[in-house]
Structure 1
Amino acid sequence: MIRKAKAVWQGAGRAGSGNLTTDSGALAQTPYSFGTRFENERGANPEELIAAAHAGCFTMALAFLLQNAGFTPTELATEAAVTLDPEGQGFRIIRRSALTLRAQVPQLDEATFARLASEAERSCPVSKVLNAAITLDAKLI
């Protein structure tokens, strides 16, 4: 299975702009620019897409682990935070992703929940490719 995305950019760094498109169509010429990445303009940015990929991957991995253990979640809500910091003349993504999970899973005890959430964090393919320190704040609600 190969998944693809395409970035097209026109112009110089700060003044230029581009768009992102995925083969699935989830992103279709979605704009990105200096303003969407380093300021708060509307549009996409690479760090946000990494965070979305990590949150989605982890949450789906946990859903499968819960299913295999005989539990059906009512809701799994995960936020991933990826940090972009200045470095010299440029920037770098800190090799860290902070996952925050709030889960509603009927009849699931805290110990089993903690074990399965930890296993999902370690086993999701995006966690593996990030090769980053990953924190997990997981709570049943």
Structure 2
Amino acid sequence: MSTIERLRRRSEFLAVTDGRRFHTERMTVQGQLRPVSDETAPAGLRIGFTITKRVGHATERNRIRRRLRAAVSAVAPGAPTTVPADVVLVARRPALSVDFETLKGDLARALSIVTRPQDPNRKPSSRRGGKPRKAGERTASPGLAPGAPLPNPCDGSPDGQ
């Protein structure tokens, strides 16, 4: 069984933001599968922790980090460590006071979801719901020819201001 490595560089954390996400009240888990052909990275699971200053003072952030590391080591025997994936745990304040069993359950569910292989038949979804526009490009309005300038709603009369 391979071990779980740590993410350490900023570029590794940023690369994970394009992957899947799993949200709970206590944390957000981001995960992305790595290509198998990447020889420089280890074959197993790599995990990084993000606890922002917004969560609390340094002692509280360190305690949350220690709790998350302990939860990862407790969940590790059942975690998909053979899958080449990077995972980032973004902690929230409730992770400090929640029951440890709940934290482990959230983490186990999250790891199974964010490290699941992508369905090859599924089309990629767009968050915006459409094709991104270029800067300055306008959408077509009904009744106007494409490329025609949009009418100015101000006819020069005072508007009461």
- Higher helix share goes to which structure? 1
Q: Which has the higher strand share?
A: 1
Give me the TM-score of the superposition, normalised by structure 2.
0.27
Higher relative contact order (CA 8 A, sep 6+): 2
Question: TM-score, normalised on structure 1?
Answer: 0.29
Greater Cα radius of gyration, structure 1 or 2? 2
